[in-house]
Structure 1
Amino acid sequence: MSKLLYCAIFCSSLLSQTSFATDSAQHQVQQVAQNLLPRVQLEGQKYQPVDLQTRLQETHLPGLSLAVIKDGKVVWAEGFGIADKKQNRKVTTETLFQAGSISKPVAALAVLKLAQDGKVDLDADVNQYLTSWKVPTNEFTKANPVTLRQLMTHTSGLTQHGFPGYVRGSKIPTDVEVLMGKGNTDLVTVDTLPDKAWRYSGGGYTVMELLVADVTKMPFEEYVQQAILTPLGMHNSTYAQPLPKTLWSKASAAFDDKGEQVEGDWHVYPEQAAAGLWTTPVDLAKYIMAVQQAYAGNTVGPITPELAKQMLEVHHDVWGLGPELEQREQGLVFTHGGKNKGFSNRFEAFVEKDEGMVLMSNGDSASTVFGELRIAISEHYGWNFIRSKKITAITLPEARAKQLEGLYAYEKDHQFKMKITREGTRFNVLDMARDNLMAFVATEEDTLIELEGGADVTIETNDKGEISAVIWRGLYRFERI
């Protein structure tokens, strides 16, 4: 990375302390962090509030950083725990985390900016812009060419869900090598008709990344820095991969689900648009507030009102042009999660209210703490992003419980599988694509509820009364195989 780009990123530092909050909010937010309760609570059981530091220790999560937006301002930002055990370095509000898939909605702004400037058409065949590689032509692309709009909404038919990253010091492939299957993932290709179904695709965002570089004649990270990050004041953010040595002292290490620091401290992600952003919760809060202000009619940096409204229009299922969109009682919410090796993150914000939150962590075990902290923050500010769920567990009849065990595959793409096993009256569901094991209990004969996250699974039976499929959160049907 050039010295000029480095200076643009980090010469103006935003914060140096571990935390900040408005004076009136300081005592209240401390109470939030000291009163965490489980997201899912079983009827008949009593739960005592636990403080955040205790929960970090109990869940083997070394560190966490957050930012809370209220009335268009960051009213609370704080770092908790350890950023690097080898160096005994603490998490601060300036600690850099890998954003994982939160890289995608920020990267999508680069494409929307190019479209706004008349450089690309969101509904044109991407191959007319790609010069260093082309989406392979086949029966599906001949019928429906791949477009930028499809890439941003995960409807392009392109393969490759996510990326595992590379140990620091190992050979790092180029974008073209990644797309050709010459890295540690498979060839990226279209294997279903574009614009007909939603399927999450990091491979699609890597195509988008390459297109940005081809159109601008600039490295992806430099264009995004110049066109998006710097104009938004995101001075503690970069898509540079590998992370320059001069920034290592600001970066958090990554930790596994046992709290052990990973080999090489963190992985390198050449798939920058899909997973390569290094940032902080405060910087992501700037992105959020800019989108909110633009949607309200005020141009902020590169984000015009027209761009914001286009970005936040609901497309397939619950997706906008970059972020996920969810309709709640208090209004439309834009959100996204992010998961890299040893990093877990989430942001959620209202579209028409200047409020939201960003959570970033340096561990694979963050889901439980995130759920509890999101509930505590939401309840404190009167938001309905997430609520605790009280449930009554039942015991399924033995025959039905036994029949529920087995292997299931997503009906639109059998590479995504889940395996259900029993442990007493509980059911363990393994998301095999993400290697994520979740515990469920039955609340009705056709309903399971996840104990940590509260997600529901509906059991589907055929005319013979046999279990034929399970439906995840009412959206994704996994058929028995």
Structure 2
Amino acid sequence: MPDVVAPAEIGQRLLLRTSLSVATLVLMFVVTSAPAQDVSPAIQSRIARVEQGLSSRVIVKGATGQKASIATRMAFHDVPAVSIALINDGHVEWTRSYGVLDTTGQRAATPASLFQAGSISKPVSALGALRLVEQGKLSLDAPANGQLSSWKIPENAFTRQSPVTLRGLLNHSAGINVHGFYGYAKGQRVPSLLQVLDGVAPANSEAVRVEARPGTGWKYSGGGYSVVQLMMTESGGKPFPELMQALVLGPLDMDDSTFAMTLPPAWQARAATGHDSNGTPLAGGWHVYPQSAAAALWSTPADLAKVVVDIQQAQSGKPGKVLSSAMTSTMLSRGLGEYGLGLYVEKLGAGSSFSHSGGTDGFRSQLYGYTHTGQGVVVMTNSDSGAALIDEILVSVAAEYGWPEFQIIEKAALAADPAANATYAGDYTLVGKPAQIIAEGDRLYLQSELFSKRPMQLFAESKTRFFMTAQDMTVEFQQAGSKRPGSFSLKRGNSTYVAMRAD
């Protein structure tokens, strides 16, 4: 199966050495992880086909495709644990967990194991905010500053043209900065929400400010959801974890979910340890995120599947446990950026798909659902390399359950141009982190720890545009009249990022 290919100079022995411990643990525990419920032989057969049907979404035309098992791909990607909840016909059809929660203690993953949900916190928080709107405690379209008391969004030339609103904040179209957050490792001082908003010590992120006219463009902003968090706690009159328990987690019977920054001891025993792309555990197990609405949710796939099912039911006109059908339709109505209020939304025939990914240090997750078929899936992992594995699981699920998306795509690759490749090679900065374009003979690679510590091969579609098979991403170099490009754009899903040359 075409996938991440390391340059020869890195050496196959290094790849084997870095993945051996995870591979061994995965193979030890992947079969013994307990299912959450008994299923019929027919469903068990479907599960088995999903487990054996993993494939990268993009393959090179003419290359021999080969399906792989979930255990094999977990070991390859250095993902110690993965947990899945599959939704079919409007209910959770099965849950399964594989691997280990940490590579040192070797605790086997189960469907009750807890994972950090990362940015999947945003749609769950959006449900809570919209419920406060339905309760008359918040307004979607009134100026946000009129709904804040302890802190105000600093006014500037952009806000004087158009005010920031809750609708814009939930849609990422309020012109707010701060894409995401780094979190705080064990032993580090954790700032208050107000310190985060003003970017003052001990906050490790910049101040949350308006950098574009609200309502005129889409830009993903965890900073905007921190403003939402303050609006919610002030209007709801409770700390955010307690408020979300009352608004969303309690009504949906999400008994294995919490926004608490400190997990109770019994929950810590069930919590997965985060791992980097090499399978190395994070010091302290995980980072803490005071930016609760944006990133702090701990959950299980089975609990998050309840969010998917409730949205599906409310959208179909049945009573929802959190929102009315009308407000659910508002949530799933696209604003700017192929995004509704807290969810990515894609129109598909008679209905829509809705989704959100999540990533904190050491964790990657994905929530996906369809309004018109009652289908969906939630996948959670405890590795920075989890996104690539999740993509392969989605391809297998889609093939087994007849989804309209995540089909395997064959792309034709042009003949390599070593001379051109040499001009692209160099050091870049991508989303504030180092990235490399590596030219080796007639092959070109992207190395970015945002996606994988292993270099990912680039295949030419044109002189400047390349695709990958390791993950469904494309890279396009900007020549700007120079023989040595100064930047490239990377497109992954609904997002495009620009990398600037650093050498």
TM-score by length of 1: 0.88
Displacement after TM superposition at 1:254 (Å):
0.8
Give the Cα–Cα distance (whole angstroms) in 1 for the partners of residues 413 and 148 of structure 2: 54
Aligned counterpart, 1:108? 126
Q: Please tell me whether residue 425 in structure 1 is matched to residue 442 in structure 2.
A: yes
Aligned counterpart, 2:39? 22
Aligned counterpart, 1:139? 157
Aligned counterpart, 1:45? 63
Give the Cα–Cα distance (whole angstroms) in 2 for the partners of residues 361 and 150 of structure 1: 30
2:109 maps to which of 91, 106, 111: 91
Give the Cα–Cα distance (whole angstroms) in 2 for the partners of residues 111 and 234 of structure 1: 17
SS in 2 for 1:33: helix
Aligned counterpart, 1:173? 191
Displacement after TM superposition at 1:223 (Å):
0.8
SS in 1 for 2:461: strand
Give the Cα–Cα distance (whole angstroms) in 1 for the partners of residues 313 and 125 of structure 2: 19
How far does the alpha carbon of each residue in 1:253-294 deviate from its partner, in whole angstroms, 9 at most, with x for none? 111111111100111111110000000101111000000110
Give the Cα–Cα distance (whole angstroms) in 2 for the partners of residues 464 and 86 of structure 1: 50
Contact 1:21 1:75 in 2 (8 A): no
Contact 2:424 2:484 in 1 (8 A): no
| Structure 2 alignment gaps of length 5 or more | 1-32
Displacement after TM superposition at 1:367 (Å):
2.5
Give the Cα–Cα distance (whole angstroms) in 2 for the partners of residues 17 and 399 of structure 1: 53
**Aligned AA for 1:159?**
N
Q: What is the correspondence of 1:435-450 to structure 2 with a 5 Å cutoff?
A: 438-450=456-468
How far does the alpha carbon of each residue in 1:299-350 deviate from its partner, in whole angstroms, 9 at most, with x for none? 2212210111000001102100000112346742101100001100011111
Contact 2:418 2:443 in 1 (8 A): no
Contact 2:53 2:396 in 1 (8 A): yes
SS in 2 for 1:320: coil
Displacement after TM superposition at 1:441 (Å):
1.2
Displacement after TM superposition at 1:241 (Å):
0.8
Contact 2:395 2:406 in 1 (8 A): yes
**Aligned AA for 2:462?**
E
Aligned counterpart, 1:222? 242
Give the Cα–Cα distance (whole angstroms) in 2 for the partners of residues 328 and 397 of structure 1: 39
Q: Please tell me whether residue 251 in structure 1 is matched to residue 271 in structure 2.
A: yes
Displacement after TM superposition at 1:175 (Å):
0.4
Give the Cα–Cα distance (whole angstroms) in 2 for the partners of residues 84 and 255 of structure 1: 8
2:175 maps to which of 133, 157, 165: 157
Aligned counterpart, 2:84? 66
SS in 2 for 1:344: strand
Aligned counterpart, 2:28? none
Q: Please tell me whether residue 341 in structure 1 is matched to residue 358 in structure 2.
A: no
Displacement after TM superposition at 1:62 (Å):
0.3
SS in 2 for 1:53: helix
Displacement after TM superposition at 1:358 (Å):
0.8
How far does the alpha carbon of each residue in 1:25-65 deviate from its partner, in whole angstroms, 9 at most, with x for none? 01221122023233332234334432111221222110000
Aligned counterpart, 1:303? 323
Contact 1:333 1:348 in 2 (8 A): yes
Aligned counterpart, 2:97? 79
Q: Please tell me whether residue 283 in structure 1 is matched to residue 303 in structure 2.
A: yes
SS in 2 for 1:306: helix
**Aligned AA for 2:404?**
N
SS in 1 for 2:225: helix
Aligned counterpart, 1:369? 389
Aligned counterpart, 1:6? none
Contact 2:490 2:499 in 1 (8 A): no
Contact 2:49 2:400 in 1 (8 A): no
Give the Cα–Cα distance (whole angstroms) in 2 for the partners of residues 127 and 401 of structure 1: 51
Displacement after TM superposition at 1:187 (Å):
1.4
**Aligned AA for 2:145?**
N
SS in 2 for 1:285: helix
1:321 maps to which of 326, 341, 345: 341
Q: What is the correspondence of 1:233-252 to structure 2 with a 5 Å cutoff?
A: 233-252=253-272
Contact 1:417 1:433 in 2 (8 A): no
Structure 1's 267 and 466: CA in aligned 2 closer, same or farther, altered over 3 A?
Answer: closer
Contact 1:341 1:364 in 2 (8 A): yes
Give the Cα–Cα distance (whole angstroms) in 2 for the partners of residues 118 and 213 of structure 1: 14
How far does the alpha carbon of each residue in 1:74-114 deviate from its partner, in whole angstroms, 9 at most, with x for none? 11200100013343211111111000000000100111111
Structure 1's 40 and 330: CA in aligned 2 closer, same or farther, altered over 3 A?
Answer: farther
How far does the alpha carbon of each residue in 1:360-414 deviate from its partner, in whole angstroms, 9 at most, with x for none? 001111133212211111000111231222233223545543444568899xxx9
| Structure 1 alignment gaps of length 5 or more | 1-15
Contact 1:79 1:93 in 2 (8 A): yes
Deviates more, 1:168-177 or 1:396-405: 396-405
| Residue identity (%) | 33
Structure 1's 449 and 268: CA in aligned 2 closer, same or farther, altered over 3 A?
Answer: same
Aligned counterpart, 1:36? 54
Displacement after TM superposition at 1:468 (Å):
8.4
Aligned counterpart, 2:474? 456
SS in 2 for 1:120: coil
Contact 2:252 2:321 in 1 (8 A): yes
Aligned counterpart, 2:20? none
SS in 1 for 2:101: strand
Contact 1:332 1:350 in 2 (8 A): yes
Deviates more, 1:184-193 or 1:375-384: 184-193
Structure 1's 432 and 365: CA in aligned 2 closer, same or farther, altered over 3 A?
Answer: closer
Q: What is the correspondence of 1:372-391 to structure 2 with a 5 Å cutoff?
A: 372-391=392-411
Q: What is the correspondence of 1:455-474 to structure 2 with a 5 Å cutoff?
A: 455-458=473-476, 472-473=490-491
**Aligned AA for 1:375?**
V
Contact 1:242 1:270 in 2 (8 A): no
Structure 1's 204 and 426: CA in aligned 2 closer, same or farther, altered over 3 A?
Answer: farther
Displacement after TM superposition at 1:143 (Å):
1.8
1:199 maps to which of 219, 224, 232: 219
SS in 1 for 2:278: coil
